[in-house]
Amino acid sequence: MSAVYSRTFASVPQRDAAATWRAIVDLLTKGKASAARDELLAVSGVVASLIADQTPKDAAIIVTCNGPRTRVYCVYDDDAIENDVDEGPLGFDPLKGDWAVSLPCSADELGWVSGALKAHSSRITARDQAETITAEAPAAKASGPLTLDVKGFLGQ
Protein backbone atom coordinates (compact mmCIF):
# COMPACT_ATOMS: atom_id res chain seq x y z
CA MET A 1 0.00 0.00 0.00
CA SER A 2 1.42 3.39 -0.91
CA ALA A 3 1.56 6.20 1.60
CA VAL A 4 -1.14 8.84 1.92
CA TYR A 5 -0.36 12.29 3.31
CA SER A 6 -2.88 14.88 4.44
CA ARG A 7 -2.84 18.65 4.75
CA THR A 8 -5.54 20.97 6.08
CA PHE A 9 -5.76 24.60 4.92
CA ALA A 10 -7.49 27.51 6.63
CA SER A 11 -10.08 29.09 4.35
CA VAL A 12 -12.91 31.57 4.93
CA PRO A 13 -12.68 33.81 6.95
CA GLN A 14 -8.92 33.37 7.47
CA ARG A 15 -8.37 33.80 3.71
CA ASP A 16 -10.76 33.94 0.77
CA ALA A 17 -11.36 30.93 -1.48
CA ALA A 18 -9.02 32.14 -4.25
CA ALA A 19 -6.20 32.73 -1.75
CA THR A 20 -6.84 29.27 -0.29
CA TRP A 21 -6.36 27.68 -3.73
CA ARG A 22 -3.16 29.70 -4.30
CA ALA A 23 -1.82 28.42 -0.95
CA ILE A 24 -2.64 24.84 -1.98
CA VAL A 25 -0.95 25.38 -5.36
CA ASP A 26 2.11 26.74 -3.54
CA LEU A 27 2.22 23.56 -1.45
CA LEU A 28 1.89 21.29 -4.48
CA THR A 29 4.47 23.16 -6.58
CA LYS A 30 6.75 24.12 -3.68
CA GLY A 31 6.24 27.71 -4.85
CA LYS A 32 8.24 27.13 -8.04
CA ALA A 33 7.23 28.21 -11.53
CA SER A 34 6.41 25.25 -13.77
CA ALA A 35 3.95 24.00 -16.36
CA ALA A 36 2.10 22.16 -13.56
CA ARG A 37 1.76 25.41 -11.59
CA ASP A 38 0.39 27.19 -14.67
CA GLU A 39 -2.11 24.36 -15.20
CA LEU A 40 -3.25 24.48 -11.57
CA LEU A 41 -3.61 28.26 -11.63
CA ALA A 42 -5.56 28.12 -14.91
CA VAL A 43 -8.49 26.54 -13.05
CA SER A 44 -8.38 28.96 -10.09
CA GLY A 45 -11.84 30.41 -10.64
CA VAL A 46 -13.51 27.00 -10.80
CA VAL A 47 -11.64 25.65 -7.78
CA ALA A 48 -12.27 28.83 -5.79
CA SER A 49 -15.99 28.27 -6.40
CA LEU A 50 -15.72 24.74 -4.98
CA ILE A 51 -13.72 25.95 -1.98
CA ALA A 52 -16.28 28.72 -1.35
CA ASP A 53 -19.02 26.04 -1.42
CA GLN A 54 -17.00 24.21 1.29
CA THR A 55 -16.81 20.93 -0.66
CA PRO A 56 -13.21 20.24 0.48
CA LYS A 57 -14.33 20.37 4.12
CA ASP A 58 -15.38 16.71 4.38
CA ALA A 59 -14.31 15.40 0.96
CA ALA A 60 -10.62 15.82 0.12
CA ILE A 61 -8.95 17.31 -2.89
CA ILE A 62 -6.93 14.26 -3.93
CA VAL A 63 -3.55 14.58 -5.62
CA THR A 64 -1.97 11.49 -7.13
CA CYS A 65 1.46 11.11 -8.70
CA ASN A 66 4.25 8.57 -9.13
CA GLY A 67 4.74 8.76 -5.37
CA PRO A 68 2.53 9.10 -2.31
CA ARG A 69 -1.05 10.33 -2.52
CA THR A 70 -1.93 13.69 -0.98
CA ARG A 71 -5.32 14.59 0.49
CA VAL A 72 -6.06 18.28 0.99
CA TYR A 73 -8.91 19.49 3.19
CA CYS A 74 -10.10 22.99 4.06
CA VAL A 75 -11.43 24.26 7.35
CA TYR A 76 -13.81 27.16 7.71
CA ASP A 77 -15.26 29.58 10.23
CA ASP A 78 -13.99 29.11 13.81
CA ASP A 79 -11.79 26.15 12.82
CA ALA A 80 -9.96 28.37 10.31
CA ILE A 81 -9.46 31.14 12.86
CA GLU A 82 -8.31 28.81 15.63
CA ASN A 83 -5.56 27.48 13.34
CA ASP A 84 -6.78 23.88 13.23
CA VAL A 85 -4.54 23.47 10.19
CA ASP A 86 -1.49 21.68 8.83
CA GLU A 87 -0.21 23.59 5.83
CA GLY A 88 3.39 22.44 6.23
CA PRO A 89 5.55 21.39 3.30
CA LEU A 90 5.54 17.82 2.03
CA GLY A 91 8.74 15.80 2.06
CA PHE A 92 8.22 14.70 -1.56
CA ASP A 93 7.11 16.12 -4.90
CA PRO A 94 3.31 15.65 -5.03
CA LEU A 95 3.32 16.36 -8.79
CA LYS A 96 6.08 13.92 -9.72
CA GLY A 97 5.59 12.06 -12.98
CA ASP A 98 2.03 11.33 -14.08
CA TRP A 99 0.11 13.54 -11.64
CA ALA A 100 -3.60 14.23 -11.35
CA VAL A 101 -5.91 16.26 -9.12
CA SER A 102 -9.45 15.14 -8.25
CA LEU A 103 -11.72 17.85 -6.86
CA PRO A 104 -14.83 17.15 -4.79
CA CYS A 105 -17.98 18.74 -6.17
CA SER A 106 -21.69 18.69 -5.36
CA ALA A 107 -23.66 16.43 -7.69
CA ASP A 108 -25.74 19.42 -8.84
CA GLU A 109 -22.68 21.29 -10.11
CA LEU A 110 -20.63 18.35 -11.42
CA GLY A 111 -21.60 18.90 -15.07
CA TRP A 112 -20.53 22.52 -15.41
CA VAL A 113 -17.47 22.09 -13.18
CA SER A 114 -16.23 19.11 -15.22
CA GLY A 115 -16.72 21.03 -18.46
CA ALA A 116 -14.95 24.12 -17.14
CA LEU A 117 -12.00 22.06 -15.90
CA LYS A 118 -11.74 20.11 -19.15
CA ALA A 119 -11.32 23.38 -21.05
CA HIS A 120 -8.05 23.97 -19.17
CA SER A 121 -6.67 20.58 -18.15
CA SER A 122 -6.98 16.85 -18.61
CA ARG A 123 -5.17 16.22 -15.30
CA ILE A 124 -7.55 18.20 -13.09
CA THR A 125 -11.00 16.63 -12.82
CA ALA A 126 -14.08 16.78 -10.62
CA ARG A 127 -15.94 13.99 -8.87
CA ASP A 128 -19.13 13.76 -6.86
CA GLN A 129 -18.19 14.66 -3.28
CA ALA A 130 -20.17 11.63 -2.07
CA GLU A 131 -17.91 9.30 -4.09
CA THR A 132 -15.46 7.32 -2.01
CA ILE A 133 -11.93 6.99 -3.34
CA THR A 134 -9.69 4.37 -1.80
CA ALA A 135 -5.91 4.59 -1.67
CA GLU A 136 -5.50 1.48 -3.79
CA ALA A 137 -7.54 -1.33 -5.20
CA PRO A 138 -8.36 -3.89 -2.53
CA ALA A 139 -5.78 -6.60 -2.04
CA ALA A 140 -6.49 -9.97 -3.55
CA LYS A 141 -7.86 -12.48 -1.11
CA ALA A 142 -5.91 -15.62 -0.37
CA SER A 143 -7.30 -18.74 -1.97
CA GLY A 144 -6.67 -20.91 1.06
CA PRO A 145 -5.35 -20.93 4.61
CA LEU A 146 -2.01 -19.36 5.39
CA THR A 147 0.79 -21.92 5.71
CA LEU A 148 4.35 -21.43 6.83
CA ASP A 149 7.23 -23.09 5.02
CA VAL A 150 9.43 -23.66 8.09
CA LYS A 151 12.37 -25.12 6.12
CA GLY A 152 12.29 -22.21 3.68
CA PHE A 153 11.95 -19.72 6.53
CA LEU A 154 14.94 -21.23 8.38
CA GLY A 155 16.95 -21.44 5.15
CA GLN A 156 17.27 -25.25 5.29
When mean pLDDT is compared across 23-32, 49-58, 141-150, the lowest value belongs to 141-150
Task: Tell me the pLDDT tens digit for each residue of 93-148.
Answer: 999 999 999 999 999 999 999 999 999 999 999 999 998 776 543 333 333 344 55
**Centroid of chain to Cα 76:** 18
What pLDDT score was predicted for residue 14? 93
What CA–CA distances, in Å, run from 42 to 34, 116, 150? 12, 10, 59
Per-residue pLDDT at 19 exceeds 80: yes
What CA–CA distances, in Å, run from 108 to 48, 50, 104, 114, 156? 17, 12, 12, 11, 64
**Centroid of chain to Cα 118:** 18
Task: Tell me the pLDDT tens digit for each residue of 54-93.
Answer: 999 999 999 999 999 999 999 999 988 887 799 999 999 9
